[in-house]
Amino acid sequence: MESFVTDSVEIAYEVIGDGEPILLIHGFASNAYVNWRDTGWVQTLENAGRRVVLIDNRGHGQSQKLYDTKDYGAPVMAADAVALLDHLGLSRVDVMGYSMGARITAFMAINHKTYVGRAIFAGLGINMVKGVGDPEQVAAALEAENIDDIANHGARMFRYFAEQTKSDLKALAACMRSSRQKITPQQLAGIEAQVLVAVGTDDAIGGSASELSVLIPGARALDIPGRDHMKAVGDKVYKQGVVDFLGQENQ
């Protein structure tokens, strides 16, 4: 991946293909490769005629690792994504984020309206507003000496995934303590981009897609049948729904 520096932080990115650009923002403890290449998303979007822009969020993948909670937060990472678009000379793109990436995408649509055409909030429904779980419990699990010492199932799952992606556990702990800012219904009501909310029907982490979509003017909900938070990412219903959404004319 290539890299650039914004806010004194080195951010890794990759641009693939030709056509109208779409920025993809991965989830917590993941990276651009795992979230979007391994799941077939890059190929799917290339086949649909899109130029794919991938970013490794700060603290993740090949981007710089930071260990202070003040260096994180979804609005900060949204600003990183906007800085990448400026670096690439892109003034307006479609954006899709998964899980934490959906929260980042939402802050792009709220704080940087002119940069976002269509937006897909995936893997995060009404819990974008309500919140979910205990960030401190997950952060402590990431800092635990051994995964076998972690009793909480959800926290253990995050630790296991972070180990599988060969992530920097201390950097992720700092990120977890900072990245789960709730978004208010009032903020969602001010979103001007066309939005698709796509969440698995068995996703307890993300929550209901339809409950979130009704808070966003003109938004649509896509239920990904029988999929939980981890298994929805590469689902064919999710992919087809996004391709159809992106192919529709602006209204």
Kindly state which CATH superfamily the domain 2-130+179-247 is placed in: Alpha/Beta hydrolase fold, catalytic domain (3.40.50.1820)
pLDDT in tens, 75-99: 999 999 999 999 999 999 999 999 9
Q: Tell me the CB-side half-sphere exposure of residue 68, using CA atoms within 13 A.
A: 3
Instruction: Work out the number of other CB atoms within 10 angstroms of the CB of residue 92.
Output: 13
CA 92 – CA 22 distance, rounded (Å): 9
pLDDT in tens, 126-172: 999 998 778 999 999 999 999 999 999 889 999 999 999 999 999 99
Write out the H or E segment, with its range, that includes residue 136: helix 135-143
Q: What is the pTM of this model?
A: 0.96
Structure tokens at 36: 């979007």
Write out the H or E segment, with its range, that includes residue 160: helix 153-164
pLDDT of residue 251: 41
CA 44 – CA 27 distance, rounded (Å): 19
CA-derived radius of gyration, the chain? 17
pLDDT tens sequence for the chain (251 residues) = 999 999 999 999 999 999 999 999 999 999 999 999 999 999 999 999 999 999 999 999 999 999 999 999 999 999 999 999 999 999 999 999 999 999 999 999 999 999 999 999 999 999 999 987 789 999 999 999 999 999 998 899 999 999 999 999 999 999 999 866 789 999 999 999 999 999 999 999 999 999 999 999 999 999 999 999 999 999 999 999 999 999 986 44
State whether the Cα torsion 232-75-194-34 is positive or negative.
negative
**Any idea which residue has 């909310």 for tokens?**
197
Residues 6+ apart with CB under 8 A from 242: 96, 120, 122, 196, 198, 222
